[in-house]
Every structure is written in structure tokens, then in C-alpha cells.
Amino acid sequence: MSSEPGNKVYFLYTLSGAIILLLITLPLGGVAPLDEPKVYAYDGAYYNLGIPVGLSFVAFVNLLIFVVSAILFWGSKGLFKNIIIDSSALSFVFLNYINYFIIWLVWHPQITILPLIFIIKYNGASAIQPDLGQVVLIIYIYRMFKRSRRPRPLSGLELDKPVDESPQPGGVQ
């Protein structure tokens, strides 16, 4: 019997791995480097930069884990190595969009989501940012699709003993 889990079980493994990775990396948000004061006043309001900058830092750490693990383990047959790649992808995508949501909550900019980019307008200024969350999500979906299309051995077949289909002596001539 194959030790390779089915697609649903594998997705649950990657989701669990993403949650564990989030729990491990979220405390790193407190050590994020800030060039400005953590709390500053602007236009009659006080803004706390600690949360958005910390979340951006944690998302960047998860992106680095994804990139490094993808470079090292892409194409590996090992279950754990593939779970590392896919879990870090899911955790980065989640953190990326939570970060943009918090930025929207704090500053209320106008954010337009386009394929692979964000257009952010705030206080008369516009910025175009690449959306790495969409890129990583596309890679993750590609990996899941590729995994689902891979042929699976039938249950009950012994994989340790290959079938010998070579011609046998005394066979039909």
C-alpha cells in the first residue's frame, strides 16, 4: 500500500503546516526594524506602525522560507519537503492579504487589485506594487493541480516486488 496521502489529506497537512509556521513566525513581528517612531501623529490622528510593519516583516520571512524551500526541494518526492514548500506558500499568501487589509483599516487608502499588481492611492499619491501573494498563490495552485493529476497506484498492490514480465523459459513459442 502506498504511503502517499490523498489530495484532501495532503491539503490538510499543508494547512496544518501553514498554521504551525504562522505560530512560529508571528512572534518575529516584534523585532521588525522600524526607521520611524512606532507611534506618530499625522493629520490629527495617531498611527501605530508596529502592527503593519511587523506583519510585513513576518510575511517577508515566510516568503523567504517559501523561496528557499522551493529552490532546495522543488521536484522532491519527499512528503515533508513538499509540505514545507506548500505550507510556507499558504502562510505567506494569508499574511500578505491580512497585511493589506490592516493597511486599509489603518490609513483607508484606495486599493485596486489587478492581476499581479496593487494600485494604492493615498493622500493624492499613487503607487503600483507587485502582488507577490498572487504569484505565490498561482504557484501553489499549479503545484496542487499537478499533484492531483499525478497517477496514484491502486490500493492493495505490492510496490516492493516488481512484476517480472520477461519471457519465461518453456512458454508459448
* DSSP letter string, 80-93: HHHHHHHHHHHHHH
Residue, of 165 and 65, whose pLDDT is higher: 65
Which amino acid appears at position 114 of this protein?
L
Contact 41, 13 (CB under 8 A): no
111 three-class SS? strand
Is residue 49 pLDDT above 50, yes or no?
yes
pLDDT of residue 1: 46
CB 134 within 8 A of CB 115: yes
The pTM for the full model equals 0.77
| Region 16-32 average pLDDT | 90
Q: What's the whole-number mean pLDDT along residues 15-25?
A: 94
Task: Give backbone dihedrals phi and psi of 46, rounded to 5 degrees, phi first.
Answer: -105, 135
pLDDT confidence tier of residue 21, bands split at 50, 70 and 90: very high
Give the pLDDT score at 148. 82
Summarize pLDDT for 111-168 with one digit per residue, the tens. 888 899 989 998 888 999 898 999 999 999 998 888 888 766 555 555 555 555 666 6
Write out the three cell numbers for 155: 490500493
Mean pLDDT of 90-115: 89
Confidence of residue 92 (pLDDT cuts 50, 70, 90): very high
CA 92, CA 137: separation in Å to the nearest integer? Answer: 9
